[in-house]
Amino acid sequence: MRTHDDAVEIHSMSTPLLRSSPFVRLWTGTMASGVATWALPFILGLAVLDRSLTGVQLGVLLATRTVGFLAAVPVSGVLADRYSRRKTVLWSGLMAAFVAPVMAMSLDRSLLLAAAAAFVMGAGQGACRPAFQALTAEVVAEPQRQQANAAITLAVRVTTLVAPTLTALLAVVFSTPVLLWGVGALWLVAALAPPAGANSPVQPTTGPNILAEFADGVREARRHPWFVAGLASLTAVIATGYSATFVVLPLVSRDRYGSEALLAAAMTTYTIGALAGAMIIARWRPRAQGWSALAGLSFYGLVPLSLLLPVHPGLILAAYVLAGIGIELFNVPWFTATQREVEPTKLARVSSLDFLLSYGFAPVGLALIAPAINQFGATAVLAVCAMVCFAAPAAAAVVPSSRGFTVRR
C-alpha cells in the first residue's frame, strides 16, 4: 500500500519541473536570494561613486558581510537539520530583508550601524544556503534533481549577466538607499516563496549543543571519501586559481592590453560559459559522473595559464569560457550527488561544511596572493596556481568513490 509521501514522490517524478508548483516556488526563492546576494556589493560600489561611501568604508561593509556569512553557515546547517529547512529559509530571509532598510538609512550617517546591518545580511545569506540545498532534496524527486539544480544555477547565471546593466540603469532613476530597499524586497521573496518540504526529516537532539551536532555532520561527510576529496579539490581551486585571477586580471588588462576592456569581457565570457555548462549538464548524464565533474573543475587552471604570457586576448577569453563551462559541469553533479548520497537528517550540516570551506578560504587566498606576487612575481604565482588547479582535481579523482560521486556498488 502506498503512503501519501510515496504518492507525492511519484507525482513529482511524472510532472515536468517547470509545471511543478513546489519547484517553481523553490526556484523563485533561490533565484531571489542569489540576486540579492550578488546585488549588494554592486550597489555599495555605486554608493562609492556617488560619495555616500569611501573606499575604506566599502571594504569594512563587505568584510563584515563575509564574517556574518561564515559565522552563520555552520549554525544554520545544524538548525535546518534539527528543526525545518523551510523555517530556516524563512527566518534567514526575513532577517536579511528587515536589515536592508537599516543599511539604507544609515549608509551615510553611521558606519557602525551600517556594518551591523551588513553583518546580519551576510548571516541571512549564509543561513539560507545549506537550508536551500537540503530543501531541494525534499521538494524534487531524486531522478529530477540534476535538472533542478541546473535550472537553479542557470537562472542565477542569467541574472548575473543582465543585472549589472539593469542595476546601472536603475541607479540613474533611483538613489542608493532605494536600491537597498529593493534588495530587502528580494530577500522577502526568498523568505516567503519556497514551499514546505514533503518529507522533512526530524533530527533527534539530546540538547542545544550546536558544536556537537555540527561535528556529527562532519563525521557524516567523512563517511563519503568522494565528498572529502572533492571538497578539498574545490577549496584548493577557489583559494588559488580564483584568487590569483581576481588579483592579476585587472593588472593584466590595464598594463598589458592598455584598458579595462579585457576585465569586463572576461567576466562576461565566464558567465556565458557557465550558462552553457548549466544547459549541457541539465541533460548530460556521463557514466563516470564524478570524474567528468572533476575534469570540469580542472578547466579553471586554463585561466592562470592564459595570463602567464602575452598571448592574444582572445585566448584569455576562451580560457574564461571553458572555465565557466567547467565550473557548472562540476557544481551541478556535486550538489546532486550530495543530496543523493548524504544521510537526509544530516544533509544541511554537510552542505554547510561545503560552503564554509569553499567560501571561507577564498578571502584567505585573496589576502595571500598579493603579498606572494610582490615577493615572487606574478609569473611564478600564476604558474603555481595553474598547477594546483590541474593537480587538485586529478588527486581527488584517484579516490575510488570519486568516479561516480558515490560509495554504492
The tens digit of pLDDT for each residue in 90-129 reads: 999 999 999 999 999 988 888 899 999 999 999 999 999 9
Can you tell me the distance from the alpha carbon of 398 to that of 62, in angstroms, rounded to the nearest whole number? Answer: 38
pTM, rounded to two decimals: 0.87
* Dihedral-angle region of residue 377 (phi above 0 means left; psi in -120 to 50 means alpha; beta otherwise): left
Can you tell me the distance from the alpha carbon of 77 to that of 122, in angstroms, rounded to the nearest whole number? Answer: 15
Rg over alpha carbons for the chain, rounded to the nearest Å, is 21
In the chain, how long is the greatest CA-to-CA distance?
A: 71
What is the mean pLDDT of the segment spanning 315-339? 94
Domain 17-142+170-202 sits in CATH at: 1.20.1250.20
Can you tell me the distance from the alpha carbon of 290 to that of 233, in angstroms, rounded to the nearest whole number? Answer: 12
pLDDT at 202: 53
Average model confidence (pLDDT) for the chain?
86
Q: Which residues contact 231 (CB under 8 A, 6 or more apart)?
A: 221, 353, 354, 357, 358
Q: Which three cell numbers stand for residue 55?
A: 573606499
- Kindly give the residue spans of alpha helices, DSSP state H, lying in 140-207: 145-173, 176-192
For residue 5, pLDDT over 70 is answered with no
pLDDT at 54: 81
> Which strand (E) or helix (H) includes residue 99?
helix 85-106
Cα–Cα distances in Å, from 306 out to 178, 313, 318? 41, 9, 9
pLDDT at 7: 39
pLDDT at 203: 55
In the chain, residues under CATH classification 1.20.1250.20 are 17-142+170-202, 217-403
Q: Which three cell numbers stand for residue 185?
A: 524586497
What is the mean pLDDT of the segment spanning 34-44? 85
pLDDT at 11: 41
Can you tell me the distance from the alpha carbon of 277 to that of 38, in angstroms, rounded to the nearest whole number? Answer: 20
- In the three-class reduction of DSSP (H, G, I as helix; E, B as strand; rest coil), residue 407 is classed as coil
For residue 184, pLDDT over 60 is answered with yes
What is the mean pLDDT of the segment spanning 229-240? 93
Q: pLDDT of 55-89, one tens digit each?
A: 788 888 988 998 999 999 999 999 999 888 999 99
Can you tell me the distance from the alpha carbon of 372 to that of 244, in angstroms, rounded to the nearest whole number? Answer: 10
- Kindly give the residue spans of alpha helices, DSSP state H, lying in 174-242: 176-192, 210-222, 225-237
- Predicted confidence band of residue 4 (pLDDT cuts 50, 70, 90): very low
Assess contact for 191 and 89: CB atoms under 8 A: yes
Can you tell me the distance from the alpha carbon of 384 to that of 367, in angstroms, rounded to the nearest whole number? Answer: 16
Task: Among 1.20.140.10, 3.40.50.300, 1.20.1250.20, 2.40.10.480, name the CATH number for the domain at 217-403.
Answer: 1.20.1250.20
> Which strand (E) or helix (H) includes residue 117?
helix 111-139
- Kindly give the residue spans of alpha helices, DSSP state H, lying in 256-312: 261-283, 289-298, 302-306
Can you tell me the distance from the alpha carbon of 128 to that of 189, in angstroms, rounded to the nearest whole number? Answer: 13
Can you tell me the distance from the alpha carbon of 366 to that of 249, in angstroms, rounded to the nearest whole number? Answer: 13
What is the mean pLDDT of the segment spanning 22-27? 92
